[in-house]
Amino acid sequence: MLKKTAALAAAAIIAVSAGTASAARDYINIVGSSTVYPFATVVAEQFGKTTHFKTPKIESTGSGGGMKLFCAGVGVEHPDITNASRRIKKSEFDKCQGNGVTDILEVKIGYDGIVLANSKKSSPMKLSRKDIFLALAKDIPDPSGAEKLIPNPHQTWHDVNPALPNIKIEVLGPPPTSGTRDAFVELVMEGGGKKIGWIKAMKKKDKKAYKRICHTVREDGAYIEAGENDNLIVQKLNANPNAIGIFGFSFLDQNSDVIQGSIVDGVEPTFEAIADGQYPVSRPLYFYAKKAHIGMVPGLSEYLNEFSSEKAWGEEGYLTDRGMIPMPDSERKQMRNDVKTLRNLEM
């Protein structure tokens, strides 16, 4: 008897919800990058609390995963916005077009610095990108000067560069699935590899081999994949003063009492240095909105408005409190204008 009622109730629930499922959605559905997530959520919460609209729902799916969901089609069952810690790729754009997602608004929101940091218990590191490349690449150029590669022999930072302290190379960083890792190898490792003449020359001759040399991180234990949880890396740095961690600027910002940023190419990773572009390792952050959903999902244009307002992404805006590096004035103005006019993304 009880079971029968339960089964009936279950059937009823499924039937009812299946019926209402495809009807309208009254909240904004956002997916995408876990790097943008901490910033987008702040905007969403602010938006939810200061307007009569519901708070947008934000899923942290990663940039690629977000694009896939975003480009799947137009309609309430698909997300309205995807966040990305890189620009949309041509292949993704084409997929979008193929699925009817033709009108896309691209908004650059600011920058995220990638920092190397160690515990405050030891002294700050002064590194160049070339040092980092030589310390972390799987294969490095033969020190004798010949144009060939040898497996990375460096055990200590001193081996890499006599000016550096004699401590073991131990770098805690994100796994290959992470956007931070992509940015790290692209901006730091490749930036360091390029400093070596013949490797730079390879870029023109054999781009694939060039990428392979620059982007392959050593696997002998000097680089430790520490998972996606940056808080964990902070804790591990605290426990091991010799180790260096790689993560987004916001974590350094929030934990400046226990860890310190390493100086890269002579620049300290401060808010100002990243903002004016002196600090060499930063990447732009974006979101992409589906224009077809404006008017279909309540609050979408208001949300775009909130995100692109000075009080959010301005130099004194609440996003900077969270460690996002704002764009320069002129760029902000242009982006704001793009949002107002809903400029169509073309590739």
Judged by CB under 8 A, the residue of 32, 33, 36, 48 near other proteins is 48
* 316 interacts with other proteins by CB under 8 A: yes
Of 222 and 259, nearer to other proteins (C-beta) is 259
C-beta separation of 241 from 119 below 8 A: yes
* 322 interacts with other proteins by CB under 8 A: yes
What tokens appear for 81 in the block? 């916005």
Judged by CB under 8 A, the residue of 191, 192, 323, 326 near other proteins is 323
* 10 interacts with other proteins by CB under 8 A: yes
Judged by CB under 8 A, the residue of 128, 255, 262, 282 near other proteins is 255
Q: What angle do CA 73, 79, 83 make, to 5 degrees?
A: 115
Residue 156's SS3 state is strand
Judged by CB under 8 A, the residue of 35, 36, 58, 246 near other proteins is 58
* 24 interacts with other proteins by CB under 8 A: no
Residue 114's SS3 state is strand
C-beta separation of 27 from 57 below 8 A: yes
326 alpha-carbon distance from chain centroid? 15
Of 20 and 144, nearer to other proteins (C-beta) is 20
* 70 interacts with other proteins by CB under 8 A: no
* 91 interacts with other proteins by CB under 8 A: no
User: Which is it for the CA torsion 93, 98, 104, 109, positive or negative?
Assistant: negative
> SS3 string of 157-209?
HHHHCCCCCCCECCEEECCCCCHHHHHHHHHHHHHHHCCCHHHHHHHHHCHHH
130 alpha-carbon distance from chain centroid? 23
Q: Which of residues 140-199 bind other proteins (CB under 8 A)?
A: none
Of 17 and 144, nearer to other proteins (C-beta) is 17
Of 121 and 203, nearer to other proteins (C-beta) is 121
DSSP secondary structure code for residue 87 in this structure: P
Shortest Å, Cβ 152 to other proteins: 31
* 32 interacts with other proteins by CB under 8 A: no
Q: How many residues does the chain have?
A: 347
Judged by CB under 8 A, the residue of 123, 256, 337, 344 near other proteins is 256
C-beta separation of 324 from 109 below 8 A: yes
What tokens appear for 54 in the block? 């519901």
* 231 interacts with other proteins by CB under 8 A: yes
The H or E element containing residue 15 is helix 2-21
Q: Which stretch binds other proteins (CB under 8 A): 30-38, 100-108, 158-166, 197-205?
A: 30-38
* 21 interacts with other proteins by CB under 8 A: yes
* 253 interacts with other proteins by CB under 8 A: yes
Residues contacting residue 194 through CB under 8 Å, at least 6 positions apart: 200, 203, 214
Judged by CB under 8 A, the residue of 59, 186, 225, 315 near other proteins is 59
Question: Which residues of this protein are in contact with other proteins, per CB under 8 A?
Answer: 3, 6-7, 9-10, 13-14, 17-18, 20-22, 25, 27, 29, 31, 37-38, 40-42, 44-46, 48-49, 52, 54-55, 57-60, 77, 120, 228-231, 248, 250-251, 253-257, 316, 318, 322-323
